[in-house]
Chains A and B, each alone.
Chain A
């Protein structure tokens, strides 16, 4: 399998000596659902923001499908989709205006664009609200629009920061189904979560980050070794 995401010795420091991320290395292969687990402030979001090209970084190299995030950001962004933990969408646009904007950015054909929007909006049960202003949406509805916007251009790598926060149970289930479907089609998913049960059931690989350093990484079987992910995680972070 080919490597979709490679993070090599990535480090990020704030204000001199304080390192938010220290020598982080991980690899996501084609078809992987990779869970990124850690305490609040451990460095998950910082790593994710560097991966999607939002945050500049000091040391290391991040490659998406062989392209350097630093040197070839456009090539990376064209095949990646990102959903932040708190989707700050444009409140004064309607859901459909926002989704069509995203599709236009990825230069999608209008018929394909509308078909995909309809497909995912129906799956996430938000079709009826797409004509309303995003400002009138609940957090979960905004999250659903963000998810649709990330899926419509069929990215090779889907990066999500705490994707299940605010989603109703049905939408959470649908998102997991979509993740599986994507990976079966050769795409990969890299996401951070605090919900260890979800990570254990959903991911084939995971990494645990503590104070900016990866302290455990591998396939789910290698990580857990027969125990629950929760006990492995607590053991690792308490060391």
Chain B
């Protein structure tokens, strides 16, 4: 990187840093949001590091200390790929300030390169949190020595680069293919979702292949180290990383050199087409054939819902990040009809020896992993952005505005969530009453997610952003919403399975339904209060 590229990178990082807001901002609300962002990031960091420590200790406890490096390598690589793929679209393409940035004396490739490094630096603490936590455990259990720890630390900086570049290439290719079409937003979203589904399918195929080689679960557990080694064989950078951590300096150098060479090569190619792609994305011809047609009157609420629908369909970043759950739910719904409930659970749990019957009470919570981990209500208040003045200046009751946002999320997730729950219940032969309660619970869960999302969305509303990705994927509201939601849901699945063995499933589900509905109502009331106070 040359001096002017470092200047650009420094500016990009400062411009998105909550510390800059704290240092120079005078608006109490914005300073509060910045503090929330810092706290949420610290909590997420601790959770990730804690997760990795727990897993690594589990490995060490079972005598697989040497496989901790592979575990860390795989976790960091998967995380880097996923985080980058979901963010690269809004980071490299379609961001505000593109015009001014590109008018400065920077080569197109330099801008693309700095944007990608910016994304890398913004996520680096997550990657290091995971990797170094594993290193501490490996060091403590004698899996590596001091030299290994030093090499581990150095390689941790490079390990995320190759998966990031793979995600960047995939994102750029998708943008390149779809940018020439009229409905580029929807096509980009569809292509991105298809790509993610293919990656998921590939992962299952690869895992299936590995298990075919070692078909017995007990044998796999007995030789877990060999199993992780096999995964590393399919992805050499993890192998280099693992070898490097035990003092193999050549592997360490290989990882660093390959990462850097790939980085330079990718941005040489991306840079060649960067301006062309952004030009295609940012150029719109105005239609000249509009004919005014009569239209029925809409209620205020349905007008807001329609506005939310158009906003959702008008952004590929929004569409992919919030619509993927819907697509994944449908895929699971179809899969359960094809392979049956038992087959689906076997696939998800990797043929773990779990009696399938005990999983039935957890069906709504399994579906909720697709329909509730992301809620449009967390980011839609912030997505008003610079257009917020429109709803502020209209004679629009603030509660109605947020009710509209909540209804849109319900419309998006509730039908598909209920349908998939029903299909899973049918496939699992749970009985009519059980199926109905599960469907009601699914709706209640989505009502809760919509309301809780709205609480977070209003509380941590951020109207000033450069790229939508800042509020859709990186926003404090999203982190605060998702973390407890994800961990509580995981806990609830375990709890439901456990309680299902003690109590009648219908009574259990009925009780949980009442609790979830009450929580949803409480969150809704809180959201409406916040709408009046802060909205």
Contact = CB atoms under 8 A, between A and B. Distances in A.
B91 to A, nearest CB: 15
Contact of B97 (A46, A53, A88): A88
A80 B466 CA distance: 24
Contacts of A133: 20-21, 24-26
B276 interface: yes
A154 to B, nearest CB: 14
Nearest to A98: B11
B212 interface: no
B105 A92 contact: no
Given A54-B103, A82-B99, A106-B105, A15 B182 contact: yes
Nearest to A13: B285
A54 B98 contact: yes
Nearest to A40: B286
Contacts of A93: 11, 14-15, 20
Contacts of B276: 56
Interface in A52-92: 52-57, 73-74, 77-78, 80-82, 84, 87-92
Given A18-B285, A55-B283, A74-B105, A90 B27 contact: no
B16 interface: yes
B279 to A, nearest CB: 4
A92 B16 contact: yes
Interface residues of B, number: 41
Given A90-B11, A132-B24, A14 B103 contact: no
B464 interface: yes
B7 interface: yes
Contact of B103 (A18, A57, A82, A89): A82
B169 to A, nearest CB: 21
Nearest to B288: A18
B15 A92 contact: yes
A80 B103 contact: yes
Nearest to B283: A14
Interface in A10-26: 12, 14-15, 18, 20
B356 interface: no
A15 B286 CA distance: 11
Nearest to A103: B7
A165 B215 CA distance: 71
A42 B103 CA distance: 22
Interface in B1-40: 3-4, 7-8, 11, 14-17, 20-21, 24-27, 30
A38 B39 CA distance: 51
Contact of A74 (B17, B107, B285): B107
Given A18-B285, A41-B286, A136-B26, A92 B21 contact: yes
A101 interface: yes
Contact of A90 (B15, B107, B275): B15
Contacts of A104: 4, 7
A146 B101 CA distance: 12
A131 interface: yes
A94 interface: yes
B107 to A, nearest CB: 6
Contacts of A91: 15, 464-466
Given A14-B285, A90-B466, A133-B21, A105 B16 contact: no
Contacts of A102: 104
Nearest to A45: B99
A131 B24 CA distance: 7
Max chain A Cβ within 10 angstroms of own Cβ: one of B20, B105, B282: B105
B96 interface: yes
* Chain A interface category by residue count: 35 or more
A88 B14 contact: no
Given A14-B285, A91-B464, A104-B7, A55 B279 contact: yes
A49 interface: yes
Contact of A105 (B106, B107, B284): B106
A90 B97 contact: yes
Contact of A136 (B11, B27, B97, B98): B27
Nearest to B10: A101
A13 B14 CA distance: 37
B100 interface: yes
Contacts of B285: 14-15, 18, 20
Nearest to A93: B15
A90 B283 CA distance: 22
Contacts of B182: 15
B102 interface: yes
Interface string B373-392: 00000000000000000000
Nearest to B466: A90
A102 B15 CA distance: 13
Nearest to B97: A88
Interface in A184-209: none
A41 B286 CA distance: 8
Interface string A18-38: 101000000000000000000
B7 A87 contact: no
B100 A87 contact: yes
A110 interface: no
Contacts of A88: 96-97, 99-100, 466
A150 B29 CA distance: 32
A53 to B, nearest CB: 7
Given A14-B284, A55-B283, A105 B100 contact: no
Contacts of A217: none
Given A52-B99, A54-B99, A133-B25, 20 more contacts: A15-B182, A15-B285, A18-B285, A20-B285, A53-B275, A54-B98, A55-B282, A56-B279, A74-B105, A77-B103, A89-B97, A91-B464, A92-B16, A97-B11, A97-B20, A98-B11, A104-B7, A106-B105, A135-B464, A146-B100
16 contacts: A14-B285, A15-B285, A18-B285, A20-B285, A53-B103, A54-B98, A55-B282, A56-B276, A77-B105, A78-B105, A81-B103, A87-B100, A91-B464, A101-B7, A105-B8, A132-B26
Closest 4 CB pairs of A and B: A14-B285, A90-B15, A82-B103, A56-B279
